[in-house]
Amino acid sequence: MNNEVRTLREAKGWSQGQLAEQLAVSRQTVNAIETGKYDPSLPLAFRIARLFRKPIEAIFDPED
């Protein structure tokens, strides 16, 4: 799954650790999401969308 998490995080000037704290996940989880090695659960995807004030589909794009 392609996503814009890294772009959005960097635009806010946050480290992976800072984002992880806000989402109540580990920094490794944030890294895995950003690199496409892990697809977040639906509740986590909603938390990410809420945090960045964007619809989920603006952040996550399933690969064809």
CATH number for the domain harbouring residue 46: 1.10.260.40
| 16 within domain boundaries | yes
Going by pLDDT thresholds of 50, 70 and 90, the confidence category of residue 6 is very high
| 58 within domain boundaries | no
Report the number of distinct structural domains present in the chain.
1
| 61 within domain boundaries | no
| 31 within domain boundaries | yes
Q: What is the pLDDT of residue 62?
A: 83
| 59 within domain boundaries | no
**Amino acid identity of 51?**
L
Q: What is the extent of the structural domain holding 18?
A: 2-53
Average of pLDDT values for 9-24? Answer: 98
pLDDT tens per residue across span 17-53: 999 999 999 999 999 999 999 999 999 999 999 999 9
pTM for this prediction: 0.92
Count Cα neighbours of 64 within 13 Å in the Cβ-side half-sphere. Answer: 0
| 10 within domain boundaries | yes
Q: What is the pLDDT of residue 64?
A: 55
